[in-house]
């Protein structure tokens, strides 16, 4: 019984370490997409953001938590909306406060979504997990 407990603990710790340290496993089990926003124009209009150098947000793995986080190091709160490929609004205007997240469970897996934001001038970082 003691050997079973020790071997189980060893397997769990090995798996956790592998997921944390091996890039492919980490990306599969803990996926995250990042949107960098550089707003120099200062206008209060919607503009599309690029996610991982692509035009669309795609939750392609069942391991996504389906949430977006407004990084605590951003200068201000940010307002976000999400549209599908047909320009139909899927998530209405939602303001995300600094360091907080919102739930995106309304989005489906393996579908393309357009993310648009409104924000004050500055550099922003949004994390989609």
Q: What is the pLDDT of residues 45-76, one digit of tens each?
A: 898 999 988 899 999 888 889 999 999 999 99
Q: Quote the pLDDT of residue 62.
A: 83
87 vs 22, which has greater pLDDT? Answer: 87
pLDDT value at 26 more than 70: no
pLDDT tens-digit map of 76-128: 999 999 999 999 999 999 999 999 999 999 999 999 999 999 999 999 999 99
Q: Quote the pLDDT of residue 112.
A: 94
| 21-38 average pLDDT score | 79
Q: Quote the pLDDT of residue 31.
A: 82
pLDDT value at 29 more than 90: no
pLDDT value at 27 more than 70: no
Distance from the first to the final alpha carbon of the chain: 39
Q: Residues 71, 100: contact at Cβ < 8 Å?
A: no
């Amino acid at each position: 019984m003691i050997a079973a407990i020790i071997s189980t603990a060893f397997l769990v710790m090995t798996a956790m370490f592998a997921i944390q340290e091996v890039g492919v496993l980490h990306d599969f089990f803990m996926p995250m997409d990042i949107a960098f926003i550089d707003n120099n124009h200062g206008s209060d209009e919607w503009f599309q953001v690029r996610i991982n150098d692509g035009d669309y947000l795609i939750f392609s793995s069942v391991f996504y938590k389906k949430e977006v986080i407004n990084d605590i190091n951003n200068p201000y709160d940010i307002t976000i909306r999400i549209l599908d490929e047909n320009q139909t609004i899927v998530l209405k205007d939602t303001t995300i406060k600094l360091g907080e997240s919102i739930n995106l469970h309304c989005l489906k897996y393996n579908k393309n979504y357009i993310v648009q934001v409104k924000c004050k001038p500055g550099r922003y970082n949004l994390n989609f997990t």
